[in-house]
Amino acid sequence: MINDKNSQKIVDIIQNWARKHSIWVLAYGTGCGAIEIPPTMTSRYDAERLGVRGAATPRQADVLLVTGYLTTKTLKRVIRVYEQMQDPKFVIGFGSCTINGGMYYDSYNTIKLLDKYLPVDVYINGCMPRPEAVLAGFGKLQEIIAEGRANGAQKYKDNLEWYKANQKKIIPSLLTTDYNW
């Protein structure tokens, strides 16, 4: 017998299946790794055959791809972009710089760990990651979306105060409203 709980579960499975196969990506080219995006998205590696395609604006995008190191100035813009995206939304940290600062680990004006400022669902390691690694990263995101485990946006909402405190520590001029719903 199908009760409300079961039917919601079935709806979730169908929605996650559809989301998995329809990933619209907003690539924010913050660092040098962005140069690997054109071959990934065009005919040689053809990410679109996996359901991954580019989005023109934040409001049409499902995935924010942060492609490398982030200066404190750029971080402010990336946060604005992320907050303009509609749910469900996901973040991919692309390249070592988003994981531990990479070769800019001791720079005075770049962040070291993207996950302290925005909720990262998947990291793609490498400096710079090749298109094969990028496709594997998209594959990982698709896998966790299908399993209902890509919950970065919910994590952001649940821990908004913590994220905002971290953001304001390094962007003292962050005078926008606390969230651009």
Q: What's the rounded Cα separation, in Å, for the pair 164 and 118?
A: 9
Helices (H) and strands (E) in the chain, counts: 7, 5
Which residue from 8, 18, 110, 132 is spatially nearest to 66, judged by alpha carbons?
A: 110
Cβ proximity to ligand SF4: between 68 and 152 the closer is 68
Residue pair 155/149 in contact by the 8 Å Cβ criterion: no
Binding site residues, ligand SF4, CB under 6 A: 31-33, 68-69, 95-97, 102-103, 127-128
Q: Report the residue closest to ligand SF4, judged by CB.
A: 68
Which residue from 100, 62, 58, 102 is spatially nearest to 79, judged by alpha carbons?
A: 58
Distances (CA, A) of 120 to 29, 108, 175: 16, 23, 23
Give, as one character, the DSSP assignment of residue 57: S
Cβ proximity to ligand SF4: between 16 and 74 the closer is 74
Question: Among all chains, which residue has been given the structure tokens 């402010």?
Answer: 76
Cβ proximity to ligand SF4: between 16 and 110 the closer is 110
**Measured from the CB of residue 31, what is the shortest distance to ligand SF4 in angstroms?**
3
**Measured from the CB of residue 57, what is the shortest distance to ligand SF4 in angstroms?**
24
Residue pair 122/92 in contact by the 8 Å Cβ criterion: yes
Q: What's the rounded Cα separation, in Å, for the pair 9 and 23?
A: 22
Cβ proximity to ligand SF4: between 107 and 151 the closer is 107
Cβ proximity to ligand SF4: between 103 and 160 the closer is 103
**Measured from the CB of residue 66, what is the shortest distance to ligand SF4 in angstroms?**
10
**Measured from the CB of residue 99, what is the shortest distance to ligand SF4 in angstroms?**
8
**Measured from the CB of residue 97, what is the shortest distance to ligand SF4 in angstroms?**
3
